[in-house]
Amino acid sequence: MLLIDAWQFIVAHPGRFLNALGTHVALSAAALTLAVAIALPVGIWISGTGRAAMAAITTANIGRTLPSLAVLALVMPVLGTGFAPSLFALTLLAMPPILLNTYTAIQQVEPDVVDAARGMGMTRAEIMRKVELPLAAPIIFAGIRTAAVQVVSGAVLAAYIGGGGLGDFITAGIAMMALPQLLVGAIPATLLSIGTDQLFGWLQRAMIPRGLAS
Amino acid sequence: MKWLLNNWDQVFEALGQHIVIALTSLAIAFAISLIVGIWAARHEGVFRAAIVVTGILYTVPTLAFLALLIPIVGLGRANAIICMVAFSLMIMIRNVAVGIRGVPAEVVDAGRGMGMTGFDVLTRIELPLAAPVIVAGLRIASVTVISVAVVAAYVNAGGLGTLIFNGISNDHAPKIWTGALTACALAVAADLSLARLEHWLRSRTA
């Protein structure tokens, strides 16, 4: 049975498996953190501008359509192989959904609510922090969720440019046609991706402001 | 650049294969989504079940999906097409169902009042009015499928990914650049042209 063979492979090489899993999680978490740290402030900033917003949105829309593997492959001739180039490529891939959702979410906050806040004497920064961001949070989190799943998925492809992670087992498994080894990469990667989606789905619901929860 | 000029036939062949597998997958996914989507538009339970199941398929990492299919269907084009169809279903079923549900009830009633059969209402009222939303789904699916097809070269499905993988294994940068940039251009072109179509359909049905 293939599944038993795959399990035995893990039991026989626990260090290799945990190492790959650890790299996969570290690579994904680092890329997502960097992407949030860049795309969220940029998204907030462009929501108050006209021309910069157009340029950023157009760029993000194009970025969103680019195939993950193509982006990873384009980074390689420039930055070489390994963890850092993979991290760079995955961060690029994670930014568009976060940026687009942040921008859209802030745009969708009712102007009346913002007016009321201004009438109460709030400063521009206070309005952003206490009114706009909390109301925009669920949509922003939906973007982060999309990005998170994309990053965990993309990290499987990072194996091609030496980024390590669970993709290593898959590429080795395909190269040698060693089916159990292939499953050692594919099944945990699938579970990790589905788990990430569920986790962020839960966070997204938890982000709904108490006043808006039905 | 020099490499590209000397090997344009190879690039052209890869691009052709890429488009053929993408279109085949989209056609199959479209047929399935139309049937399931129409059914889901009428039954909330079917809609929910379809979205949950196809949503899970959509979450599976591309390379893992292709790998999981190897023990079942082996390497090759069939593997890639199954994977690409699976990735398209969620978006397309959702958009077909949501598009049909978005048709105003009065319009459907008016059609019935004119003596249209259920099939007439579907083909002459609901589907034409839902077309912009259906094309919006097709647009996202086409970008997804083009992206998956790049990876599918690793399971011997051909296409532009072949250039990338050959380039990586031979450490030949021009090959990597050509494959990757052509794939990017194809994805952007598909996105823009379907956005146009969607816009045109919207202006026609509005």
Written as one string, the DSSP assignment of B137-202 is HHHHHHHHHHHHHHHHGGGT--STHHHHHHHHHHT-HHHHHHHHHHHHHHHHHHHHHHHHHHHHHH
Q: Do A156 and B62 touch (CB under 8 A)?
A: yes
Report the percent of chain A where pLDDT is more than 90.
68
How many Å lie between the alpha carbon of B14 and the closest alpha carbon of chain A?
Answer: 14
- The per-residue pLDDT for A40 is 95
With a cut of 90, say whether residue B100 has pLDDT above it. Answer: yes
| pLDDT mean over B166-186 | 92
The number of residues in chain A equals: 214
| Confidence at A98, pLDDT banded by 50, 70, 90 | very high
Report the percent of chain A where pLDDT is more than 70.
99
- Residue B105: how many CB atoms within 10 A of its CB? 8
How many Å lie between the alpha carbon of A84 and the closest alpha carbon of chain B?
Answer: 17
With a cut of 90, say whether residue B204 has pLDDT above it. Answer: no
With a cut of 60, say whether residue A214 has pLDDT above it. Answer: no
This prediction has a pTM of 0.90
- The per-residue pLDDT for A213 is 62
For the stretch A45-86, pLDDT in tens is 998 787 888 899 999 999 999 999 999 999 988 998 999 999
For the stretch A151-175, pLDDT in tens is 999 999 999 998 889 999 999 999 8
Helices (H), B43-126: 44-59, 62-73, 77-101, 105-113, 118-120
3-state secondary structure of B95: helix
CATH of domain A15-206: 1.10.3720.10
Q: Do B187 and A66 touch (CB under 8 A)?
A: yes
| pLDDT mean over B65-85 | 93
Binding-site residues on chain A for chain B (CB distance < 8 A): 2, 61-62, 64-71, 73-74, 76-77, 149, 152-154, 156-157, 159-161, 166-167, 170-171, 173-174, 179, 182-183, 185-187, 189-190, 193-194, 197
ipTM of predicted complex: 0.88
Lookup: tokens for B161? 């990914």
Determine the Cα–Cα distance for residues B75 and A69; give it in Å rounded to an integer: 19
Q: Please state which of the ranges A2-6, A40-44, B67-71, B134-138 shows the lowest mean pLDDT.
A: A2-6
For the stretch B142-151, pLDDT in tens is 999 999 999 9
| Confidence at A20, pLDDT banded by 50, 70, 90 | very high
For the stretch B104-119, pLDDT in tens is 999 999 999 999 998 9
| pLDDT mean over B23-30 | 97
B54 contact A CB<8A:
no
Domain B2-205 coded CATH 3.30.450.70: no
| pLDDT mean over B88-112 | 94
Q: Do A193 and B64 touch (CB under 8 A)?
A: yes
**Which residues contact residue A71 at a Cβ distance below 8 angstroms, ignoring those fewer than 6 apart?**
A89, A92, A93, B180, B184
DSSP, residue by residue, A35-47: HHHHHHHHHHHHT
With a cut of 70, say whether residue B160 has pLDDT above it. Answer: yes
| pLDDT mean over B117-140 | 94
Burial A162-181 (b: 16+ CB within 10 A, else e): ebbbbbbbbbebbeeeebbb
Domain ranges of chain A: 15-206
Q: What is the mean pLDDT of chain A?
A: 91
| pLDDT mean over B170-186 | 92
| Confidence at B122, pLDDT banded by 50, 70, 90 | very high
Is the dihedral angle over the CA atoms A160, A163, A167, A170 positive or is it negative? positive
Q: Do A193 and B61 touch (CB under 8 A)?
A: yes
- The per-residue pLDDT for A152 is 96
Determine the Cα–Cα distance for residues A71 and B147; give it in Å rounded to an integer: 10
For the stretch B36-47, pLDDT in tens is 999 999 999 999
| Confidence at B19, pLDDT banded by 50, 70, 90 | very high
In the DSSP assignment, the letter for residue A50 is S
